[in-house]
Structure 1
């Protein structure tokens, strides 16, 4: 069941999963070793969710690799994730709200150095504008401290890269915001959410992501995570969910079906649009046939490595 924590706690329905087709389409031919990409194609939670939401969106991001200018909200989410990672690297006694705020400016300077193009969202680098934006990030950090006391926690890892291959040959890859492991061996997967997606759609997408991580960790460690915890910093709520092995087996089959569907579309270039309310937030709307646009010519299936999620993917 889903359990809410926080000031506005209340029940919520479990998000539905996609159907589980039994297609056993043969995977595309694997390139010869000399032609093989540096990294083998994999499925990440973000790209799996893209295809589930709209196959054409998956194509634009994973095959065409069309650029998407980030928003200030996305950068703020990336910044908050970075600060929380740095916070847990400090001795427990130092994990205080004021210390987290002190980390904001240096963390932004570090991110801006790594991706200078991100600073273009602040024309002229107006100090007042950046200060106001950093202040909004500080508010999210303050909300985090109202949800839990990091001085009482010792995570096993933050921003943990996880990767495993299912028995069907599908390679799963992603990043876990935080992994807590109890002395008894019980596992808790924690994810921070800073975006402002519509609540019902946002929660379903987030729980899809968390079940993805649960499957990977279960296959890596042989232990079903005891709890999947989402922390919504915008409204100060926490959402906790307890999966079971039977559910993860079903979800594993769902992921395998998604990958087979991606491979089928990859052969023909038939990545069809799936219009929804989320079209209003799509960076590629102008190229979508459902909105009068024309996609670029299909470049062919390049065996994309869509498993590497960017910091922006992980900061929603």
Structure 2
């Protein structure tokens, strides 16, 4: 059951594209005005890669949509100055296998490496920063990235940051090796639980605050719906523990 695209998700993808293009410019050209000029080109690239973008943007109008993107990009300049550093990597795909044949993959928005070798991971969010009740969900993502960096590069990241553009906040996490070892055991246990659920077809529904954003609520037994017949599990080797593409989905505006 593919999740239909949302305007918030497309807006997030365009903002990410603008910031990626921004860091492709020489440092001296990364002015706020220049960043605003990149919006149209980034939008054209996204609409060429994804279906249904024009129909979604038509809900608000292109001018309004572009204004929303430019506002988020302008907010970025209140949190960082992109003219003062050079990123080590942008939109980098990272992959690793944990013990027990648990494959992980994800895309990191930006990796910075300081002259002394210290590494920082930065992820942009076009939504608002989480409150105390939802901060653990955000930290899970940062720990996930920190674990993959540790396993692929053999480096303990000095810092990981979630940059929330909607309310101009930054969530910072400083990992410790022992903590990531414990987190790895948690991820392995989660993956084993997913495999077991996939093989048995038992995925019990759990009501929570995210239900209001679900596109499949009408099919959910918790709300009187009937899900489609379970098609079966293709085999454990076909799957992977995946953090997915950045800034696509409801969590982007949470």
How high is the TM-score relative to the length of structure 1? 0.74
CA contact (8 A) 2:16 2:124 kept: yes
SS at match of 1:161: strand
Residues 188-224 of structure 1: CA distance to partner in whole angstroms, max 9, x if unpaired? 1101111247534543222111110100000111111
5 Å-filtered alignment, 1:1-316, equals 66-123=1-58, 129-196=61-128, 199-303=131-235, 304-305=238-239, 307=242, 309-310=244-245, 313=248, 316=252
Deviation at 1:72, TM superposition (A): 1.3
| CA distance, structure 2, for counterparts of residue 285 and residue 197 of structure 1 | 25
Deviation at 1:168, TM superposition (A): 2.0
SS at match of 1:185: coil
Select between 195-204 and 69-78 the one with higher mean Cα deviation.
195-204
| CA distance, structure 1, for counterparts of residue 208 and residue 151 of structure 2 | 34
CA contact (8 A) 1:161 1:174 kept: yes
Deviation at 1:284, TM superposition (A): 1.0
Q: RMSD across aligned C-alpha pairs, in angstroms?
A: 1.9
| CA distance, structure 1, for counterparts of residue 99 and residue 192 of structure 2 | 14
Residues 139-194 of structure 1: CA distance to partner in whole angstroms, max 9, x if unpaired? 11111001111011111101110000112211110000100111221111101111
| CA distance, structure 1, for counterparts of residue 159 and residue 145 of structure 2 | 11
Deviation at 1:115, TM superposition (A): 1.2
How high is the TM-score relative to the length of structure 2? 0.92
SS at match of 1:147: coil
Q: Which runs of 5+ in 2 are unaligned?
A: none
| CA distance, structure 1, for counterparts of residue 124 and residue 134 of structure 2 | 13
Structure 1 residues 117, 305: CA separation in 2 closer, same or farther (over 3 Å shift)? farther
Which of 1 and 2 has higher RCO (CA within 8 Å, sep 6+)? 1
Deviation at 1:301, TM superposition (A): 0.5
| CA distance, structure 1, for counterparts of residue 87 and residue 136 of structure 2 | 26
| CA distance, structure 2, for counterparts of residue 118 and residue 302 of structure 1 | 32
| CA distance, structure 1, for counterparts of residue 16 and residue 133 of structure 2 | 22
Q: Which runs of 5+ in 1 are unaligned?
A: 1-65
CA contact (8 A) 1:74 1:195 kept: no
| CA distance, structure 1, for counterparts of residue 28 and residue 134 of structure 2 | 34
SS at match of 1:224: coil
| CA distance, structure 2, for counterparts of residue 174 and residue 102 of structure 1 | 29
Partner of residue 40, structure 1: none
SS at match of 2:105: strand
| CA distance, structure 1, for counterparts of residue 176 and residue 53 of structure 2 | 41
CA contact (8 A) 2:124 2:163 kept: yes
